[in-house]
């Protein structure tokens, strides 16, 4: 069904939408680069990307929950600030009120619109029935299973008959089977026009979920977030996961997701401040632990040093989210090469996988110093000090010119993890002191 009818006017249109945090020194931390995005009626759009890339922020800006730093969002051509769009969000954590019953939870949005009690009941009961919660009206959320809770979340979202239904990773807190059931039920409501909703916008990190549900898959790249690719899914429902076109599309998206796009990787342009040691290009470290890389490489070795990423993820039953950072790390360290959706291990990677614990540390140290400028700089800075000791605050100050506060913390944590593993330096969490490891 639903080939995107781009002839129709979009319901939502984001023009040059940006999110950044201005820093006291006048620079800014860019979270989302200027983005154009339009939601057309009759479509399910999936927004796909690794975690922490800004998907949820984008969703919140489109709904008006979070103000844009620049650019604007238009609803039927009107700026979002001037009207109040009729939208709902289904949340990842369900966000139900635990002290209200199922019925009261579903009624709450109607109450907010000033609807009289009798009408509220009728409408809420109808939608509760539609999502299959019949008989649970007077239950409290904590009595329900995860799947049932999210059904309440969906019922609450649908009861206001939103024009666009936003879903923020709605199924990622559920087990695999329950998630699959709920996806099926959502599609049924949508395809059979049981709900007046005109478009669904779903944020996910699960490629298959996106391809199963959506008419259009928008892939976000990160640092800062930007639209990396835009796919039209032109397959009839119900979609067969085993069909060749399905597998091909999933593979393609995988490839796009893992393809590094260097044109965006460079940090926001900053005038290099003289006297500061961090002048080289800042690479954002994937948040992983060295142990994960070793595990990944070992598995690859077992498979003859080469594997298809999609199959690998499938075999490990990992979602993109879990696998991507580890792959990124291995690539960054020069232990893995990516080519056309497949990954092959490099000689360094092979040596790393085969080595014993001490050997691995030596190889990791070499690879890290060669490929991770931050670790190099940390080592140099420590060497420059007569007592070979520096406070983590020092590095935090350097990093936070490039990253948001949270990201700075995570970057430093990761760098410290790697540095400790590589035995470059030691770290005392209580005092926050880094000390150079003497060879």
Q: Which stretches of the chain bind another protein, using CB under 8 A?
A: 60, 63-65, 67, 80-84, 87-89, 91-95, 97-101, 103-104, 108-109, 111-118, 121-122, 125-126, 129, 134, 137-138, 140-143, 149, 156, 160, 429-430
Nearer residue to another protein within complex by CB, 121 or 264:
121
Number of helices and strands in the chain (H, E) = 16, 16
Nearer residue to another protein within complex by CB, 136 or 231:
136
Separation CA 245–CA 270 (nearest Å):
45
Nearer residue to another protein within complex by CB, 109 or 341:
109
* C-alpha angle 169-209-247 in degrees, rounded to nearest 5: 155
Task: Give min distance, CB of 128 to another protein, in A.
Answer: 9
Separation CA 94–CA 106 (nearest Å):
12
Nearer residue to another protein within complex by CB, 98 or 196:
98
Separation CA 365–CA 248 (nearest Å):
38
- CB 148, CB 154: distance < 8 Å: no
Tokens of 44: 């399910």
Separation CA 418–CA 439 (nearest Å):
17
Nearer residue to another protein within complex by CB, 134 or 315:
134
Nearer residue to another protein within complex by CB, 108 or 299:
108
Task: Give min distance, CB of 198 to another protein, in A.
Answer: 17
Nearer residue to another protein within complex by CB, 139 or 229:
139
Q: How many CB atoms lie within 10 A of CB 350?
A: 15
* C-alpha angle 233-186-101 in degrees, rounded to nearest 5: 150
Which residues neighbour 143 within 8 Å (Cβ) at sequence distance 6 or greater? none
Task: Give min distance, CB of 139 to another protein, in A.
Answer: 10
Task: Give min distance, CB of 84 to another protein, in A.
Answer: 5
- Where are any strands of DSSP class E within 174-259? 199-204, 216-221, 226-232
Strand bridging mode 43-48 / 199-204: parallel
Task: Give min distance, CB of 374 to another protein, in A.
Answer: 24
Task: Give min distance, CB of 122 to another protein, in A.
Answer: 6
Tokens of 333: 């360290």
């Amino acid at each position: 069904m639903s080939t995107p009818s781009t002839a129709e006017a979009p319901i939502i249109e984001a023009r040059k939408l940006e999110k950044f945090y201005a820093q006291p020194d006048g620079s800014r931390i860019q979270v989302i680069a200027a983005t154009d995005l339009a939601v057309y009626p009759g479509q399910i759009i999936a927004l796909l990307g690794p975690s922490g890339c800004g998907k949820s922020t984008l969703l919140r800006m489109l709904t008006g929950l979070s103000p844009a730093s620049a650019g604007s969002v238009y609803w039927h051509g009107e700026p979002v600030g001037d009207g109040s769009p009729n939208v709902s969000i289904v949340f990842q954590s369900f966000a139900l009120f635990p002290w209200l019953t199922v019925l009261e939870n579903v009624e709450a949005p109607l109450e907010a619109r000033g609807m009289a009690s009798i009408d509220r009941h009728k409408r809420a009961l109808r939608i509760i029935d539609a999502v299959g919660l019949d008989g649970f009206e007077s239950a409290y959320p904590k009595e329900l299973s995860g799947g049932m809770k999210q059904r309440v979340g969906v019922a609450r979202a649908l009861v206001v008959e939103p024009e666009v239904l936003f879903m923020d990773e709605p199924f990622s807190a559920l087990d695999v089977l329950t998630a699959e059931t709920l996806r099926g039920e959502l599609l049924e409501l949508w395809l059979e026009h049981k709900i007046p909703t005109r478009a669904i916008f779903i944020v996910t990190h699960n490629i298959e979920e996106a391809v199963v549900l959506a008419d259009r898959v928008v892939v976000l790249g990160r640092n800062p977030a930007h639209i990396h690719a835009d796919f039209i899914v032109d397959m009839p429902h119900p979609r067969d996961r085993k069909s060749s076109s399905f597998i091909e599309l999933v593979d393609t998206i995988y490839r796009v997701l893992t393809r590094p796009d260097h044109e965006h990787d460079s940090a926001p342009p900053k005038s290099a401040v003289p006297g500061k040691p961090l002048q080289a290009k800042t690479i954002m470290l994937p948040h992983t632990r060295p142990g994960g890389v070793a595990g990944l490489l070992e598995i690859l070795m077992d498979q003859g040093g080469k594997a298809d990423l999609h199959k690998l993820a499938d075999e490990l039953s990992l979602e993109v989210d879990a696998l991507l950072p580890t792959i990124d790390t291995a690539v960054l360290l020069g232990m893995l090469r990516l080519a056309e959706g497949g990954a092959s291990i490099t000689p360094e990677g092979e040596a790393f996988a085969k080595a014993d614990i001490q050997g691995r540390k030596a190889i990791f140290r070499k690879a890290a110093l060669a490929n991770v400028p931050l670790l190099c700089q940390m080592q140099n800075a420590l060497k420059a000090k007569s007592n070979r000791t520096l406070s983590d605050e020092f590095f935090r100050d350097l990093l936070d010119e490039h990253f948001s506060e949270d990201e700075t913390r995570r970057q430093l944590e990761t760098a410290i993890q790697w540095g400790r593993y590589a035995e470059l330096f030691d770290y005392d969490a209580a005092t926050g002191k880094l000390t150079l490891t003497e060879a």
